[in-house]
Structure 1
Amino acid sequence: MNPSKPLFLASSSPRRAQLLADMGFEFQTLPADVCSIDETPQENESAWILVERLAHSKAALALSMADLPDGSVVLAGDTVVIHQGRIFGKPVDEREAAAMLSALSGQTHAVVTAIAVADGLRCESVIVQTDVTMMSLGEAQIAAYLSTGEPLDKAGAYALQGMAARFVERICGSWGAVVGLPQCETAQLLAEFGIHPVWLQTQRDLIHE
């Protein structure tokens, strides 16, 4: 990574951090309170506008609150599930999680993720939609899944990268976007800010020696 442009992840999601690390980026994760905002949708706000607004807000908040070195680049993201015109964020309790899973059972829904990158001078973003088809779930299956605790901090009340993988019949689009970080689009966006994976930066340095 270009040392003049340190990268910071404004997200408490371990999934985003793992995906970013797997891509070969060097970064530091900011404390959760630095990027914690009210995620309540505004009146008549679409899922696409919502996730982009929240991603931009998290990036801007991190830049204003965190004591970051000059030239720092901040990456933030947000994900929601949308089904039949309804936006499903993170459930507030098991009852809401059960209702979400019941609604998604046997249906195809959309997962909408926005990634925002900011450096204090500008903020750019990308929105990715992935369609996910879930198998039909019985009450016992939903209850058993709820007992694991996994659904409670996940948009739509399920984790594709976790135990709910067995519930998903088909994905059309980016697997990473469902988990919280569309890898291809994120890499392209970071490249616009001069941020590249370590392995790619090393190769470029060797070529120009």
Structure 2
Amino acid sequence: MKANEVWKRCQSDENLPTADVVIGADTVVVYKDQVLEKPKDADQAISMLRQLSGQTHTALTGVHILAKDVHYQFVTTTKVTFASLSDDDIFEYVRQGEPFDKAGAYGIQGPAALFISNIEGDYWNVVGLPQHPLYQELLKLAKTKQWI
């Protein structure tokens, strides 16, 4: 939906440049079949981090590529394992305010990196944009559509 909205705006708003390609991405965290999106408040962030403590979860990023003749989507998954976290660790992290705009209440690229004991898959997927898979898909699309 994000990519579609940007595409429409770039095609119709004379104040914006016309886009040849729009790429949208969104990441969610899944733990025990439950989607952990961005927490609404500190209590929800604390609850999410307690759930993830000492456990493995999956980060999924959906990517949508739009161009004049292309509507292509793919999903990349990465398994992330948290070390066991103390309540002090969790409370301090939440106090810093970082969890509130991040799926699963953490950002792997910030202080929460200290919580990660293992990762299986693409680090950049957890950050929110799986760069290598995106590059590979763009190359395939470019060759198929004879962009290059």
Q: TM-score w.r.t. structure 2 length?
A: 0.88
The correspondence of residues 175-190 of structure 1 with structure 2, limited to 5 A, is: 175-190=123-138
The question of whether the paired residues in 1 share the 8 Å contact of 2:7 and 2:19 is answered with no
Query: Which of 24, 30, 34 is matched with 1:86 structurally?
Result: 34
- How big is each residue's C-alpha offset from its partner over 1:120-152, in whole Å with a ceiling of 9 and x where there is no partner? 332111211100000111111100001111111
- How big is each residue's C-alpha offset from its partner over 1:153-183, in whole Å with a ceiling of 9 and x where there is no partner? 0110011000000100000000000000111
Query: Which of 128, 153, 166 is matched with 2:114 structurally?
Result: 166
In 2: Cα distance, 1:125 partner to 1:112 partner: 13
Q: Are 1:63 and 2:63 matched, yes or no? A: no
Consecutive unaligned residues in structure 1, runs of 5 or more: 1-56, 196-203, 205-209
In 1: Cα distance, 2:111 partner to 2:19 partner: 40
Q: Which is strand-richer, 1 or 2?
A: 2
Q: What root-mean-square deviation, in Å, do the aligned CA atoms of Structure 1 and Structure 2 show? A: 1.8
SS of the residue corresponding to residue 194 of structure 1 reads helix
Aligned residues: 140
SS of the residue corresponding to residue 166 of structure 1 reads helix
What letter corresponds to residue 138 of structure 2 in structure 1? L
- Give me the identity figure in percent: 39
- Counterpart of 1:144 in structure 2 is 92
Q: TM-score w.r.t. structure 1 length?
A: 0.63
Q: Are 1:76 and 2:20 matched, yes or no? A: no
In 1: Cα distance, 2:19 partner to 2:52 partner: 43
